[in-house]
Structure 1
Amino acid sequence: MNFFRRRPIDPEQDAARQIAALTASRRVIVDAYEVERRRIERDLHDGTQQYLVAALMKLGEARMAPSVAADPWLGRLLAEAQDALGRGLDSLRATVRGIHPQVLVEQGLEAALADVAQGAASPVRIVCPHPLPSLPEGVLATGYFFACEAIANATKYAPGAPITVLLATDTHLRVSVVDAGPGGARLVPGHGLAGMRERLAAFGGDVTISSPAGGPTQVVATVPLLLHRGEPGVVV
């Protein structure tokens, strides 16, 4: 006789465990992206950038040599090389800052995109009707880079057209980028927003596009907040 009966499985508790496990695994994927991004940022800042700075200083010293002063052609050549290297260093610094903008971590997604809007070639308006909750760093970065890609595409294919970026959350972060251009946009496999869609799909997100002839074009990213049970998705 079996005196020990197996307790029946509570379907609700079992579903909650499965959801928690899925959320945890997706957070691992997102965190892995951020670890790799920070590694690249560190390597560029502490390695490549320092070598370029040293080379720039060496060129400056070379231009002061007496033999260079006596050879105008060589002086011009070194000056051009120093200028080109300086521009390359400025470009690298901009790249390093763009890999993970400090304002994104310190002030949040709305403030980081406001900075992007100020430097955009087309007029960009950032709309965030309700304060965003505290978001995992990977979710923040995904929303930010999606918006940057969508703004860049809009300014390229609909130059001068006004752009509106709408930010909202529930169980997902939703980033909607609308431009008043002529429409006809599409996702090209392996490029730009299509690449972002593939990355988002890895942790349950998606990118959709609506772009009828005559416009407007709307591109929307739906990014799971990857919240644990009980964590709020909306700031009240």
Structure 2
Amino acid sequence: MRLRRHKNQVSHEQQAADTIAALTQSRRAIVDAYENERHRIERDLHDGTQQYLVAAAMMIGEAQLSPSVQGDAELAKRLDEAQNALHRGLDALRATVRGIHPQILSEQGLAAALEDVARASANPVRIVCPNPLPRIPEGVLATAYFFASEAIANGAKYAPGADISVLLTADDCLRVSVVDSGPGGAHFVSGHGLAGMRERLAAVGGELTISSPESGPTQLRASIPLLLNRGEPGVRL
């Protein structure tokens, strides 16, 4: 009897482990597919659209050197305007490409990528990462990056000038806490803002909690499963 109970216990434990592994693989596949599509769009914009715009800018530059253009003030002005518009378009496209998947996120990690966001923010932003983050799927890092970026942008929008701090930690989940010293009062509106954040996190098994009393401060806290396979380390080796 004892042996049968032991076998049943082992069987149930194995079933639970198999279920967790299958769920992890399913969520990881969703995250990986999302990241693969993001990289494809990035490549298409960089290698396709951007190259066409660069070629057009070069052709306009060559035309501007033509004696017939230099002798026509109105035409020269129009070409200058077209050249400036192309350069603005290129700058906007490059910013979009960087925003789709920042290279620094892959090369230097989440904290470094968010330091870039902090430097570009209108508010003073401090990034705190007390311990090295574990090696986790790139898609999980991207989810955390875009959550933190949006939370920083929201802080700057609704609490201009307020101090913002971002804390990055990890245990069984990657945890991102974004706190601003603004007046508070943030709330969920279906389909918009914070509700959209919650839905995007839920797609990878993550959760969003919010604390925002009327007197402030506002804290947005994301918990994102590491999506590690069984046996993968949860700490940086």
Q: TM-score, normalised by structure 2?
A: 0.91
Query: Residue 184 of structure 1 contacts residue 211 of structure 1 at CA under 8 Å; is this kept in 2?
Result: yes
Match in the other structure for 1:101: 102
For 2:40 and 2:22, the matched residues in 1 are separated by 27
Coordinate RMSD, CA, aligned: 1.7
Query: Residue 181 of structure 1 contacts residue 215 of structure 1 at CA under 8 Å; is this kept in 2?
Result: yes
Query: Residue 135 of structure 2 contacts residue 235 of structure 2 at CA under 8 Å; is this kept in 1?
Result: no
| 1:228 CA drift (Å) | 1.8
Letter in 1 for 2:173: H
For 1:59 and 1:190, the matched residues in 2 are separated by 44
Higher mean C-alpha displacement, 200-209 vs 125-134: 200-209
Structure 2 unaligned segments of length 5 or more: list them.
1-6
| 1:225 CA drift (Å) | 0.5
| 1:193 CA drift (Å) | 4.0
The DSSP-based 3-state class of the residue aligned with 2:136 is: coil
In the TM superposition, what whole-angstrom CA distance separates every residue of 1:93-118 from its partner, at most 9, and x where no partner exists?
12112211121111111111112212
In the TM superposition, what whole-angstrom CA distance separates every residue of 1:121-161 from its partner, at most 9, and x where no partner exists?
11111111221111110001111111111111111111111
1:70 equivalent to 2:60? Answer no
For 2:234 and 2:195, the matched residues in 1 are separated by 27
The DSSP-based 3-state class of the residue aligned with 2:214 is: coil
Match in the other structure for 1:204: 205
In the TM superposition, what whole-angstrom CA distance separates every residue of 1:58-95 from its partner, at most 9, and x where no partner exists?
21122222232222122112111111110110111121
Percent of residue pairs bearing the same amino acid type: 71
Q: 1:152 to 1:58 in 2, by over 3 A?
A: same
Match in the other structure for 2:156: 155
Higher mean C-alpha displacement, 19-28 vs 222-231: 222-231
The number of residues matched between the two structures is 230
Structure 1 unaligned segments of length 5 or more: list them.
1-6
Query: Residue 207 of structure 2 contacts residue 222 of structure 2 at CA under 8 Å; is this kept in 1?
Result: yes
Higher mean C-alpha displacement, 148-157 vs 110-119: 110-119
Match in the other structure for 2:170: 169
The DSSP-based 3-state class of the residue aligned with 1:87 is: helix
| 1:188 CA drift (Å) | 3.4
Query: Residue 177 of structure 2 contacts residue 220 of structure 2 at CA under 8 Å; is this kept in 1?
Result: yes
For 1:208 and 1:113, the matched residues in 2 are separated by 20
For 1:42 and 1:190, the matched residues in 2 are separated by 30
For 2:139 and 2:52, the matched residues in 1 are separated by 30
Match in the other structure for 1:3: none
For 1:157 and 1:74, the matched residues in 2 are separated by 46
Higher mean C-alpha displacement, 66-75 vs 142-151: 66-75
| 1:230 CA drift (Å) | 3.0
Match in the other structure for 2:4: none
Match in the other structure for 1:53: 54
For 1:73 and 1:145, the matched residues in 2 are separated by 46
For 1:233 and 1:192, the matched residues in 2 are separated by 31
In the TM superposition, what whole-angstrom CA distance separates every residue of 1:142-187 from its partner, at most 9, and x where no partner exists?
1111111111111111111100000111111110100001112223
Match in the other structure for 2:181: 180
The DSSP-based 3-state class of the residue aligned with 2:87 is: helix
The DSSP-based 3-state class of the residue aligned with 1:219 is: strand
For 2:229 and 2:163, the matched residues in 1 are separated by 38
For 1:187 and 1:115, the matched residues in 2 are separated by 28
| 1:203 CA drift (Å) | 2.3
For 1:219 and 1:76, the matched residues in 2 are separated by 50
The DSSP-based 3-state class of the residue aligned with 2:228 is: coil
Letter in 2 for 1:161: A
The DSSP-based 3-state class of the residue aligned with 1:164 is: strand
